[in-house]
Chains A and B, each alone.
Chain A
Amino acid sequence: MLLKSQKDFFSGLLFLTVGSAFAYGATTYQVGTGARMGPGYFPLMLGVILALMGAVIAVRALISGAPDGDRIGAIAWRPLLLVLGANVTFGALMIGVPAIGIPQFGLVVAIFAQVAIASLAGEKFIVKEVLVLSLILSVGSYLAFVKLLGLQFPVWPAFIAG
């Protein structure tokens, strides 16, 4: 079987799955009737609609599509993992995750780590540049967010600042 539009087929599949999941979830809440809608009523309705739309999109993708088959193409794992990893690292280091034993390192350490990880996703990784960028961002964020806007961030590691 040949997909006429790969993108549409998988979009349809996504809608079908997510819609069904939401609809199934809705049935575990009280659904009620139109006049007395329970918490499950509206989500059930939407879930069914989304699943139906997904089915139509997926079936149509078997019949017609762009001549090149609308291929999804390769997934850019490297930027995907590094960008999201940089974000997660930033959160984990700044605040700390006691559950897995990461102590609170504060804003500055988190920024240096975040910039370093994110920069790995770029085309060039120049250590000096990364350090300078981290320094500029640390000073800038400290002045803008902590001093000027008064947001409550831990700035230094908890075991140093106390």
Chain B
Amino acid sequence: MDLINNLTLGFGVAFTAQNLLYAFIGCLLGTLIGVLPGIGPVATIAMLLPATYALPPVAALIMLAGIYYGAQYGGSTTAILVNLPGESSSVVTVIDGYQMARKGRAGPALAAAGLGSFFAGCVGTLILAAFAAPLTEVAFKFGPAEYFSLMILGLIGAVVLASGSLLKALGMIVLGLLMGMIGTDVNSGVPRYSFDIPELTDGIGFVVIAMGVFGYGEIISNLSHSEEKREVFTGKIQGLLPTKEDFKNMVPAVLRGTALGSALGILPGGGALLSAFAAYTIEKKTTLKPGEVPFGKGNIRGVAAPESANNAGSQTSFIPLLTLGIPPNAVMALMVGAMTIHNIQPGPQVMTSNPELFWGLIASMWIGNAMLIILNLPLIGIWIRLLTVPYRWLFPAIILFCAIGVYSTNNNTFDIWMVALFGAIGYMFIKLGLEPAPLLLGFILGPMMEENLRRALLLSRGDWSVFVTRPLSATLLALAVLLLVVVMLPAVKNKREEAFVED
């Protein structure tokens, strides 16, 4: 069978002592940074990206995958123990996870999150491997018009599923697209919006934007609220493993969460957030067994289901990235940036031209997941200790890592000045209630969109109707319009706003 052959190839590539070591280091670093309160996965990955520069491409991607899973798991740990969701998709984990921690059951909560995520990750990897080949076939049928429409759908999907105010989020996308225009136009060689600054003719680095907006912006905002008394649960953790009773409750929740997450993750706009919300809602609708803790009071299912759903979703959201080259969310946009640094242009051609890399990456995702569970269950104690480190020691260290990371991208101090500028911009975004994730997505997609629009219109001799007369392209655009119409419907609109109130 093809699937088995491909996976064997992948595991052959990934299972070398060296690559396993990189996966391990990646997970370790990812968790270490991800567990720090106030740092989401985007900032974590951006900060750790420079650590992979010196590695060969396969090893670098394997380490990045490790960092990614580590960062996500670290985020869940913070959510459960400090009542502080590091990213929007762990917002629902907080509800029951924190309550469990308050009752001294932080261990089982963390274990449930870990085991659930691991199971979901395994399923997600299999789905990814199974879908990748056929989807790549489809991708080769795509012309520039289809790619352009697909990107529209992806961008609209991303904000429809994952942000508060729709119009403001759309504005952030367009702003991101415009920032992607800064630099030399590949077609004419004209430097755009560079104000005769030589560094700007290469465009703004995405690491600079990610660190400035997500890293510095958040730090400034965190510091402006006086250090609230955060309750951290350190002493009270007794018994790491869930009881038999817990397992009985967990298993069906994990299965449901995984199924839901895998399905929703493939959608453009990838729904780590949506799947976590949906999984929690479904668990809440099921009837409680006699003697079970109600939801919102520390029910283990309220941790297991959303955590598996969001992990399955983030796994399957690699599908659009690897097969079509289109990042469905901000984290994936960063992965695109990381791959480009290693001279890999993600897209359908990777699988045919570089199968070792492609399948090696897929295998390494599984390894990353496995590593996470091996690493984290015994080390939970250490992560918890890390949470008790006061913020006034953490943030100077974070600033240092950001500055070093930004500098080492190009060995140019110009990037350090730029990241300060974007830090100020990021703080302004927070103050104005503007979400930065769509901006990053637009920024990465901007040049690709322009290129495909240009080619599509060149082929059609300037006729815009090409986007609606080609059936595939028309379908994609129709889906985008449909998404917009659906969220504008009053009934959905109210529900949606309700769902984001908790943010």
| Given A11-B432, A38-B188, A87-B216, CB of A149 within 8 Å of CB of B54 | yes
B421 → chain A closest CB, angstroms: 8
Say which residue of B416, B434, B457 sits within 8 Å of A91 (CB atoms).
B416
- Alpha-carbon distance A41/B185, docked complex (angstroms): 11
Contact call A15/B171, Cβ cutoff below 8 A: yes
Q: Which of A29-57 contact B (CB under 8 A)?
A: 29-30, 33-39, 41-43, 46-47, 49-50, 53-54, 56-57
A83 → chain B closest CB, angstroms: 5
Q: Which of B447-503 contact A (CB under 8 A)?
A: 449-450, 453-454, 457-458, 460-464
Q: Quick one: closest A residue to B186, CB to CB?
A: A39
Contact call B399/A87, Cβ cutoff below 8 A: yes
Q: Quick one: closest B residue to A84, CB to CB?
A: B420
| Given A39-B190, A80-B424, CB of A133 within 8 Å of CB of B393 | yes
Contact call A123/B226, Cβ cutoff below 8 A: yes
Contact call A11/B171, Cβ cutoff below 8 A: yes
Chain A positions within 8 Å of B391 at CB level: 122
Q: 9 tightest A-B contacts by CB?
A: A35-B462, A76-B224, A91-B416, A34-B462, A122-B392, A79-B223, A39-B185, A118-B396, A84-B420
B390 → chain A closest CB, angstroms: 9
Q: Which of B148-203 contact A (CB under 8 A)?
A: 165, 167-168, 170-171, 174-175, 177-178, 181, 185, 187-188, 190, 192-193
- Alpha-carbon distance A56/B139, docked complex (angstroms): 37
- With a 10 A CB-CB cut-off, give which of B181, B221, B227, B400 has the most chain A CB atoms: B400
Supply 30 A–B pairs (Cβ within 8 Å), ascending by A: A10-B432, A11-B433, A15-B171, A19-B174, A19-B178, A29-B190, A34-B464, A35-B462, A37-B187, A42-B454, A50-B171, A50-B178, A79-B219, A83-B395, A83-B423, A84-B216, A86-B396, A86-B399, A87-B419, A87-B423, A88-B416, A91-B416, A92-B413, A97-B413, A114-B400, A115-B396, A119-B396, A122-B391, A123-B392, A129-B392
- Alpha-carbon distance A129/B397, docked complex (angstroms): 13
User: Any chain A CB within 8 A of the CB of B417?
Assistant: yes
User: Any chain A CB within 8 A of the CB of B118?
Assistant: no
Question: How many residues of A are counted as interface, with CB atoms below 8 angstroms from the partner's CB atoms?
Answer: 69
A130 → chain B closest CB, angstroms: 8
Say which residue of B53, B411, B432, B458 sits within 8 Å of A72 (CB atoms).
B432
- With a 10 A CB-CB cut-off, give which of A72, A75, A122 has the most chain B CB atoms: A122
User: Any chain A CB within 8 A of the CB of B69?
Assistant: no
Q: Which of B293-348 contact A (CB under 8 A)?
A: none
| Given A111-B400, A137-B397, CB of A83 within 8 Å of CB of B192 | no
Contact call B175/A88, Cβ cutoff below 8 A: no
A→B interface (CB under 8 Å):
7-8, 10-11, 14-15, 18-19, 22, 25-26, 29-30, 33-39, 41-43, 46-47, 49-50, 53-54, 56-57, 60, 70, 72-73, 75-76, 79-80, 83-84, 86-88, 90-92, 94-95, 97, 111, 114-115, 118-119, 121-124, 129, 133, 137, 141, 145, 149-153
A15 → chain B closest CB, angstroms: 5
Interface residues on B, range: 35 or more
Q: How many contacts A-B (CB < 8 Å)? A: 187
Contact call A152/B171, Cβ cutoff below 8 A: no
User: Any chain A CB within 8 A of the CB of B431?
Assistant: yes
Chain B positions within 8 Å of A95 at CB level: 407, 413
Chain B positions within 8 Å of A25 at CB level: 192-193
Say which residue of B170, B188, B460, B463 sits within 8 Å of A30 (CB atoms).
B188
